[in-house]
Structure 1
Amino acid sequence: MTTSLGAKIKRHRQEKGYSLDKLAELTDSSKSYLWELENRDTRKPSGEKLTKIAGALSVTTDYLLDDNTEPEEEVFKEAFYRSFKKLDLDDQEKIKQMIDMWGKKD
């Protein structure tokens, strides 16, 4: 399924119950700028702006940019990585060892 950047932003904004005003506030953007992103394919956000939008919508920038990526897969990976980074180093190492063990199954 191919979905444009604008369509993804609009869908996730609406799923979160955000108005254009609210998303603009969360991303230090203007309402008109976000409207143009959602409705016209002519605007391309900067990396910084795209990162802010992705964070506010709880998706990854890769998901927003890739026309074929499914959101659930990317959101899960991003959430897992954020949780992993918050663990202390000993717990991170234990998880790495478990992953290595699972990968060695024949």
Structure 2
Amino acid sequence: MTINLGAEISRRRREQKLTQEDLAELSDLSVNFISRLERTKDQNISIQKLDSIARALNTTTPDIINNAYRSKPVKSSEVSLDSTPVFVKKVANELRKLPKDKAERMCKAFIILLKEVN
């Protein structure tokens, strides 16, 4: 039995209404890498890159691997209840890139701003 991680990643990405560009940005990988991974059956991917993709898709690496082996895929919505909008994921991704203290200050400022708008 062969495993096609790219097909599973593509299926999950489409279910979450993400483009390849969105997934690339959320996982800090290139669009070319995501595209090649999804369209080829012969993948060579490091566990670190697969972990990054899994986090961007709000799942786990073992879940992607296990689901890629299944004959009938499990929908992401059956596995994860996360329906976070793409722009919120992008903000969270950018915050993860900051040093912890700076990210914390940004979050506090954002919360204050949200409270003022409401």
Q: TM-score, normalised by structure 2?
A: 0.54
Q: Tell me what 1:40 maps to.
A: 40
Mark the runs of 5 or more structure 1 residues left unpaired by the alignment. 77-106
Deviation of 1:3 after TM superposition, in Å, equals 6.7
Cα root mean square deviation, aligned: 2.2
2:52 corresponds to which letter in structure 1?
K
Q: TM-score, normalised by structure 1?
A: 0.60
With a CA cutoff of 8 Å and minimum separation of 6, indicate the structure with the bigger relative contact order: 2
Tell whether the 8 Å contact from 2:5 to 2:43 is kept in structure 1 after alignment: no
| Count of residue pairs brought into register by the alignment | 74
Mark the runs of 5 or more structure 2 residues left unpaired by the alignment. 82-118
Q: Tell me what 2:104 maps to.
A: none
Name the % identity: 35
1:36 corresponds to which letter in structure 2?
R
4+ aligned runs moved over 6 Å, structure 1: none
Bigger Rg, which one: 1
Q: Tell me what 1:63 maps to.
A: 63
